[in-house]
Structure 1
């Protein structure tokens, strides 16, 4: 571990079980996922459990992020990236946010998809946990 690195990215003001997760160790080169299994778990999903419960019933093959990469102005003020989900029939409200410190990974994945001419949507998986309700995992490895 480096001298100035933080052991886990995230917002310390959020509950420990809702800070999200992800690691720069899962990426090579210009933030390209090492393999197709790489995920990022969204932070701050507790307030959106009703929205997540509704999305859990959707076809898992047809849900993906509906949030574009940050604009230059958003990057300048280090704005959080709030994630919305596109399902087969609608765009959801906010369901969580990219864990603090991992915004560049999300931005790069969206720009990589857009650069290939693909829709800038990252597949997601809605995970039901026994203790903490629903969580969202971005299947970012599939953007490789």
Structure 2
């Protein structure tokens, strides 16, 4: 049975740019159930040029840069925008975490910090029929 879609994503983004992921894919404490788990970012349509530049410069394997919200963004429940670290530079915004999955991303960053690893979630730029998208390889953070 597929869980219902988050209405906040439905109203904020076009049908083909809503991202994907579900809290049902996580165990207690937001630990991914599978090492293959991916979350696709929402709202990537406006950032196609930036994604194309990153893909040309660095290939499809990249990492997130940052991801933590400021206190003001947390207070207003602002979307969690993500940038990519390409090895030499940090890109501009390339998308947002689908609504409702922000705690899973925050916990993954916390696991990385507790393991004394850089606060960078592995990601991959994928080509779809509707353009370039960013998949967070969140499952790779589960065994830290």
Runs ≥4 residues deviating over 6 A: none
Unaligned regions of 5+ residues in structure 2, if any? Answer: none
Larger helix proportion, structure 1 or 2? 2
Alignment partner of 2:94: what SS?
strand
RMSD, aligned CA: 1.6
Give deviations 1:69-92, integer Å, cap 9, x for gaps.
224442221111110000021100
Alignment equivalent of 1:138, drawn from 130, 136, 139: 136
The 8 Å contact of residues 12 and 19 in structure 1, kept in 2 or not, is answered as: no
- Mapped to 2, the partners of 1:56 and 1:38 lie a distance apart of 22
Show structure 1 runs of 5+ residues with no match: none
TM-score normalized by the length of structure 1: 0.89
User: 8 Å contact 1:53–1:134 — kept in the other structure?
Assistant: yes
Compute the TM-score of the two structures, normalised by the length of structure 2: 0.89
Q: 88-97 or 10-19: which moved more?
A: 10-19
Are the equivalent residues in 2 in contact too, given 1:65–1:85 (CA < 8 A)?
yes
Q: CA deviation at 1:36?
A: 0.9
- How many pairs does the alignment contain? 138
Deviation at 1:29, TM superposition (A): 1.1
**How far is the alpha carbon of 1:68 from its aligned partner?**
3.4
